[in-house]
Amino acid sequence: MLLANCKAANTTTSDAVDSNDFYHIDDFSSVEKFDTHVHLNVDDTDLIAQAKADNFRLLTVNVSPAYYPPIEEQQRIAIRLKKSHPDRLAYATTFSLANWNDDTWQQKTLDYLKESFEKGAIAVKVWKNVGMELKDKDGKFVMIDNPRFDPIIDYLAKKHIPLIGHLGEPKNAWLPLEKMTIKSNQNYFSKHPEYHMYLHPEYPSYDAQIEARDHMLAKHSDVKFVGAHLGSLEWSIEELSKRLDKFPNMAVDVAARLSALQYQAVTNWQGVHDFLVKYQDRLIYATDFEVGGTTNAAELRKRIHDTWLRDWKFFAGDQLMNSTGFDATFKGLQLPKTVIDKLYYANAVTWFPGINSNK
What's the min distance (Å) between Cβ of 123 and Zn ion?
A: 13
What's the min distance (Å) between Cβ of 136 and Zn ion?
A: 25
What's the min distance (Å) between Cβ of 277 and Zn ion?
A: 26
Measured CA to CA, the distance from residue 252 to residue 282 in angstroms comes to 6
Nearer to Zn ion, 286 or 333 (CB): 286
For residue 59, the tally of other CB atoms under 10 A from its CB is 24
Q: Which residue is nearest to Zn ion (CB)?
A: 288
Rg of the chain's alpha carbons, rounded to an integer? 21
What's the min distance (Å) between Cβ of 13 and Zn ion?
A: 47
Per-residue mark of binding to Zn ion, 213-232 (x: CB under 5 A): --------------------
What's the min distance (Å) between Cβ of 35 and Zn ion?
A: 11
What's the min distance (Å) between Cβ of 171 and Zn ion?
A: 18
CB within 8 A of 117, min separation 6: which ones?
Answer: 93, 159, 161
What one-letter code names the amino acid at 80? R
Task: Give the number of C-alpha atoms closer than 13 A to the C-alpha of residue 235, restricted to the C-beta side.
Answer: 14
Query: Binding of Zn ion at residue 288 (CB under 5 A)?
Result: yes
For residue 193, the tally of other CB atoms under 10 A from its CB is 11
Which range touches Zn ion (CB under 5 A), out of 17-25, 287-295, 324-332, 348-356?
Answer: 287-295
What's the min distance (Å) between Cβ of 52 and Zn ion?
A: 22
Which range touches Zn ion (CB under 5 A), out of 46-54, 153-161, 283-291, 333-341?
Answer: 283-291
For residue 12, the tally of other CB atoms under 10 A from its CB is 7
Find out whether 336 and 277 touch, Cβ atoms under 8 Å.
yes
Residue positions counted in the chain: 359
In three-state secondary structure terms, 226 is strand
Nearer to Zn ion, 74 or 280 (CB): 74
Nearer to Zn ion, 261 or 333 (CB): 261
Nearer to Zn ion, 46 or 288 (CB): 288
Nearer to Zn ion, 40 or 157 (CB): 40
What one-letter code names the amino acid at 179? K
Residues 195/200/203/207 CA torsion (nearest 10 deg): 80
Which range touches Zn ion (CB under 5 A), out of 65-73, 273-281, 284-292, 342-350?
Answer: 284-292
Scanning residues 240 to 259, which ones bind Zn ion (CB under 5 A)? none
Nearer to Zn ion, 94 or 109 (CB): 94
Measured CA to CA, the distance from residue 146 to residue 166 in angstroms comes to 16
Which range touches Zn ion (CB under 5 A), out of 9-17, 285-293, 302-310, 319-327?
Answer: 285-293
Instruction: Tell how strand 289-291 and strand 283-284 pair up.
Output: unpaired
Q: Which residues contribute to the site for Zn ion (CB under 5 A)? A: 288
